[in-house]
Amino acid sequence: MKILKGIFRQSRNSNPLKNRQLVDPALFLLYEISKSDGSIDDEERKIIKMLIKENLATDQSEESTLTLLAKLSEESSSLYPTIKEVNESYNKEKKIRLLSMLMALIVSDGQVKPEEEALFFKIAELIKIKRTLANKIRLENS
């Protein structure tokens, strides 16, 4: 849990993307990973809600933040604006923690689906984390 908390603390002060004032890029990527297999299961939803509640400075409820994430995800045609924000505001250590969070969420339902794993490795590549390190993170969290 300490890994998860650290990434959000530092992101609260980063410049939010247009129309995403209340959504941390890590949270948006968590949401995208959770729905990449076609549905968000109860365990994934529970983890995202817990992270919203414990780590984000927002007046919104977990449910309204999830609703906002769903809306933003639906309207989004690309992860690149979020990836750009991560690349501009996260150092390597924080990117590694982000990937650890993403993999922890992927395995939370007891299955690693090909769509989730493919998106994990794509995000790792886009945030400039080498495949060997991403593989190590995957193995450590499986």
Q: Report the candidate in 55, 126, 89, 116 with the shortest Cα–Cα distance to residue 138.
A: 116
H or E element, residue 8? helix 2-11
Domain ranges (residues) in the chain: 2-141
Q: Can you give the pLDDT of all 142 residues of the chain as single tens digits?
A: 555 555 555 444 443 344 454 578 999 999 999 999 888 999 999 999 888 887 655 567 788 888 888 999 998 889 999 999 999 999 999 999 999 999 999 999 888 999 999 999 999 999 999 999 999 999 999 8
Distances (CA, A) of 39 to 14, 32, 42, 44, 123: 29, 10, 10, 10, 19
Put simply, whether the predicted model's pTM sits higher than 0.85 gets the answer: no
Tell me: domain 2-141, CATH 1.10.540.10, correct?
A: no
